């Protein structure tokens, strides 16, 4: 599938200003620091990172909900720089939120929830809108449709609510879906169902999907490419199989070691993970941002100079001095 | 006494429970515990006739989907009940004493936080923002053991070391600590009175992967060093295997399987437990994930037969009747399913 470019992000910086007493400037939270990637139509990619690593800020910046401090985002050939009408962008990008119950208005029933985006974007006639609502409900398997239309969010189970959120993201026929931890609030037994549903929809409509998660173990069931994020930067970018079986960056290694598989033997061994916490994004450490926690840091280099992206294996990028050519 | 607690669940409980059963290997024995809530739509059977027992120094893990009654079970054991309780019956033997017979005040003074403590979900947000962390951690000793403040703070220093919090954090306030450190402080608080039993209700679900792994390493240390039994309640099956000697699976307010972790994770017996294990994504091995279609029944009017029957791939005629608990296998695993009936 050689597809056209859908989204191109280059050297993106997003900074939030900190204010003292709501007035005086007190520094910046550098939530994104030089992030670049390309996404083609029909391609799914996953961003994995811990909380506070900047992954949600990345989504917000793409959705136009956070400022672009430097760098640029090009979506469907259009540069997003604040001059683009919000409605133009939001009718082309679907958003699947983390907490489905929080994302659905409790006073609207299923029909209203799905009709609202179409009303705002002046989509079709009432009959066409009704037709579209039925199509998306069919697509996310909320069946029988007639039973679900008058229901309110609290009458649905967690899995059904998340299906509804996906249906709402799909209703305007977007070309890009961004999903912020879409399954982290769901039970294990329905998680797989939702991931498979998103995968099916993505294939059927040739959508671009950006999936954000902190759980590496679900990634292989969803996308081809994975970006690992640490302290506002991508530290490693590679294919799913490559990243699991040929892990390069020490942080990714730690992340993989921290994720258990259900195995009774786990109770008898310790996990090999570095202590400490991710750094503050107001004053990030000099040099490589992982160096204070890194078990294999090179003295005199890692704490001084920020590593550029190396490509030791084809299509496998890593920002770590260990792989200097 | 056999090696595994699972075995002695079927034995009768001693009528006159010895007050100090130190020689007895059983730490906790729960029999027919029910906790029903009053709601506007009827009586909700959150915990329905749950029986199990655990040995000293063992750790058991209770897994199940949200709303299956895991947290209610923990709260029923520690008698931390909300106001809308409809029924609260059964027997809970902690250290040989039936604590259900104690008055609320006696329970508060002599059992809670003395013999059994709890780390609840998102507990790190439960720290008092205007008190120093060290004082809060030491407080149970001052209240339950009438210790002086200096003495109690000395003990707090010891438990801080045990859970991996730097000692100078004693003088900090909660907002000066990261989420992981706050969770460790809460863990220190639950350990300070040297209880026999600690109930951990989703202790790490609000934390990052690396922090979570670090806390589980600390828990393993504690388990190896101290005489303490853990009940770990979680919906995260992969993580639960980090601290499990035995696995209890709950479904719709009932306990459906109780087995050793080797069986519980590798070849579970109950169809629900099998479905649950098959739905867990794994990082290292390539497996086809499955899911359980449908959703759990309402606990207000649960089905009279097996509660899993409507979603069960192996259901048959008998499933219309409520299955008793059967004992199967070499390790006397307990499973509540007609498939394992011995005819």
Give me the sheet containing B246-251, strands edge to edge: B116-119, B197-201, B229-234, B59-63, B246-251, B254-260, B333-335, B326-328
Rounded to whole angstroms, how far apart are CA atoms B187 and B203? 9
On the 0-12 / 13-18 / 19+ scale of CB atoms within 10 A, B107 is middle
Two tokens at B303? 């089905």
What's the mean pLDDT in A178-198? 85
Domain span at residue B286 reads 5-103+228-340
Verify whether the Cβ–Cβ distance B209 to A215 is below 8 Å.
Answer: yes
Rounded to 5 degrees, φ, ψ at A61 are: -65, -40
Lowest mean pLDDT among A42-56, B2-16, B71-85, B263-277: B2-16
Rounded to 5 degrees, φ, ψ at B11 are: -75, 150
Lowest mean pLDDT among A187-191, A241-245, B1-5, B27-31: B1-5
Q: How confident is the model at residue A2 (pLDDT cuts 50, 70, 90)?
A: low
Check whether A143 has a pLDDT greater than 80: yes
- This prediction's pTM: 0.84
A210, A62 in Cβ contact below 8 A? yes
Q: Dump pLDDT digits (tens) for B146-205.
A: 899 999 999 999 999 888 888 888 998 988 888 888 888 999 999 998 899 999 988 887
Check whether B219 has a pLDDT greater than 80: yes
Q: Which residue of B has its CA nearest to A280?
A: B178
Pick the residue of B181, B218, B283, B285 with the most A CBs within 10 A to test the interface with A by mutation.
B283
Rounded to whole angstroms, how far apart are CA atoms B137 and B139? 6
Q: Tell me the shortest Cα–Cα distance from B258 to chain A, in angstroms.
A: 14
Question: Residue B245: its chain A contacts at CB < 8 A?
Answer: 267
- How many Cβ atoms from other residues are within 10 Å of residue A17's Cβ? 11
Q: Tell me the shortest Cα–Cα distance from B145 to chain A, in angstroms.
A: 33
Task: Answer positive or negative: Cα dihedral of B309, B314, B320, B326.
Answer: negative
Question: Residue A309's closest CA among A240, A236, A229?
Answer: A236
Q: What is the pLDDT of residue B36?
A: 94
Two tokens at B166? 């730097």
Q: What is the pLDDT of residue B12?
A: 34
Total of domains in chain B:
1
Check whether B8 has a pLDDT greater than 50: no
Q: What is the pLDDT of residue B24?
A: 55
Q: What is the pLDDT of residue B20?
A: 38
Verify whether the Cβ–Cβ distance A263 to B241 is below 8 Å.
Answer: yes
Verify whether the Cβ–Cβ distance B217 to A271 is below 8 Å.
Answer: yes
Would you say residue B126 lies in a domain?
no
Q: Dump pLDDT digits (tens) for B280-324.
A: 888 877 778 888 888 888 888 889 899 999 999 999 998 988 888
Q: How confident is the model at residue B4 (pLDDT cuts 50, 70, 90)?
A: very low
As a dihedral over the C-alpha atoms of residue B219, residue B223, residue B227, residue B229, rounded to 10 degrees, the angle is: 80
| Residue from the list B217, B241, B282 with its beta carbon closest to the beta carbon of A217 | B282
A137, A114 in Cβ contact below 8 A? yes
HEC assignment per residue over B18-33: CCCCCCCCEEEEEEEE
Would you say residue B93 lies in a domain?
yes
Verify whether the Cβ–Cβ distance B280 to A262 is below 8 Å.
Answer: yes
Verify whether the Cβ–Cβ distance B65 to A189 is below 8 Å.
Answer: yes
Question: Residue B238's closest CA among B217, B213, B221, B256?
Answer: B213
Check whether B55 has a pLDDT greater than 50: yes
| Residue from the list A192, A267, A273 with its beta carbon closest to the beta carbon of B213 | A273
Lowest mean pLDDT among A126-130, A272-276, B266-270: A272-276
Task: Answer positive or negative: Cα dihedral of B233, B239, B241, B244.
Answer: negative
Would you say residue B253 lies in a domain?
yes
Would you say residue B215 lies in a domain?
no
Rounded to whole angstroms, how far apart are CA atoms A263 and A217? 14
Question: Residue A274: its chain B contacts at CB < 8 A?
Answer: 210
Rounded to whole angstroms, how far apart are CA atoms B77 and B92? 7
Would you say residue B273 lies in a domain?
yes
Verify whether the Cβ–Cβ distance B283 to A273 is below 8 Å.
Answer: no
Q: How confident is the model at residue A138 (pLDDT cuts 50, 70, 90)?
A: very high
Rounded to whole angstroms, how far apart are CA atoms B7 and B17? 19
| Residue from the list B178, B265, B276 with its beta carbon closest to the beta carbon of A263 | B265
Could you tell me the CATH number of the domain that includes residue B311? 3.40.50.300
Q: What is the pLDDT of residue B231?
A: 94
Q: Tell me the shortest Cα–Cα distance from A244 to chain B, in angstroms.
A: 8
């Amino acid at each position: 599938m050689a597809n056209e470019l859908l989204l191109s992000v280059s050297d993106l910086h997003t900074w939030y200003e900190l204010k003292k007493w709501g007035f005086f400037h007190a520094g910046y939270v550098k939530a994104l620091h030089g992030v670049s990637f390309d996404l083609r139509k029909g391609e799914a990619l996953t961003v994995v990172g811990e909380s506070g690593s900047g992954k949600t800020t990345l989504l917000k910046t793409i959705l136009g909900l956070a400022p672009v401090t430097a760098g640029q985002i090009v979506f469907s050939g259009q540069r997003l720089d604040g001059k683009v009408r919000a409605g133009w962008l939001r009718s082309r990008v679907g958003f699947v939120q983390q907490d489905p119950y929080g994302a659905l208005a409790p006073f609207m029933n299923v029909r209203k929830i799905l009709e609202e985006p179409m009303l705002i974007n002046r989509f079709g006639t009432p009959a066409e809108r009704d037709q579209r609502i039925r199509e998306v409900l069919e697509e996310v398997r909320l069946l029988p449709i007639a039973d679900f239309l008058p229901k309110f969010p609290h009458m649905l189970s967690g899995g059904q609510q998340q299906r509804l959120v996906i249906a709402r993201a799909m209703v305007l026929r977007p070309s890009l879906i961004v999903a912020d931890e879409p399954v982290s609030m769901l039970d294990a037994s329905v998680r797989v169902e939702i991931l498979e549903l998103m995968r099916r929809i993505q294939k059927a409509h040739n959508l671009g999907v950006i999936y954000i998660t902190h759980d590496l173990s679900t990634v292989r069931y969803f996308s081809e490419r994975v970006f690992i994020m640490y302290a506002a930067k991508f530290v490693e970018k590679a294919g799913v199989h490559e990243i699991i079986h040929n892990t390069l960056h020490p942080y990714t290694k730690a992340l993989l070691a921290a994720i258990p598989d259900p195995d009774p033997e786990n109770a008898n061994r310790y996990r090999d993970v570095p202590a400490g916490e991710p750094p503050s994004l107001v004053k990030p450490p000099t040099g490589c941002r992982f160096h204070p926690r890194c078990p294999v840091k090179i003295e005199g280099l890692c704490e001084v100079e920020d590593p550029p992206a190396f490509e030791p294996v084809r299509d496998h990028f890593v920002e770590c001095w260990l792989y200097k050519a | 006494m056999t090696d595994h607690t699972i075995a002695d669940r079927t034995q009768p409980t001693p009528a006159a429970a010895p007050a100090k059963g130190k020689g007895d290997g059983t730490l906790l024995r729960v029999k027919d515990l029910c906790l029903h809530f009053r709601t506007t739509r009827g009586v909700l059977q959150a915990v329905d006739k749950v029986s199990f027992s655990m040995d000293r120094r063992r750790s058991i893990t209770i897994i199940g989907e949200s709303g299956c009654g895991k947290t209610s079970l923990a709260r029923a054991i520690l008698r931390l009940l909300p106001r809308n309780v409809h029924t609260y019956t059964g027997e809970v033997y902690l250290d040989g004493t039936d604590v259900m017979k104690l008055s609320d005040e006696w329970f508060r003074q002599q059992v809670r936080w003395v013999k059994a403590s709890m780390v609840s979900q998102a507990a790190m947000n439960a720290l008092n923002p205007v008190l120093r962390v060290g004082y809060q951690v030491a407080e149970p000793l001052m209240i339950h053991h009438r210790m002086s403040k200096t003495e109690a703070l000395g003990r707090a220093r010891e438990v801080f070391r045990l859970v991996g919090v730097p000692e100078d954090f004693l003088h900090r306030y909660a907002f000066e600590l990261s989420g992981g450190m706050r969770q460790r402080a809460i863990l220190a608080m639950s350990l300070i009175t040297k209880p026999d039993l600690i109930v951990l209700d989703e202790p790490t679900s609000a934390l990052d992967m690396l922090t979570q792994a670090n806390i589980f390493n600390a828990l393993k240390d504690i388990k190896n060093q101290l005489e303490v039994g853990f009940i770990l309640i979680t919906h995260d099956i992969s993580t639960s295997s980090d601290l499990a000697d035995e696995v209890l699976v709950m479904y719709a307010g009932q306990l459906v399987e109780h087995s050793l972790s080797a069986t519980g994770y590798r070849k579970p017996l109950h169809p629900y437990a099998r479905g649950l294990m098959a739905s867990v994504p794994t990082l290292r091995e390539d497996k086809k994930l499955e899911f359980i279609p449908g959703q759990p029944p309402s606990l207000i009017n649960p089905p009279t037969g097996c509660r899993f029957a409507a979603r069960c791939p192996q259901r048959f005629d008998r499933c219309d009747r409520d299955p008793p608990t059967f004992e199967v296998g070499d390790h006397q695993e307990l499973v509540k399913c007609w498939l394992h009936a011995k005819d």
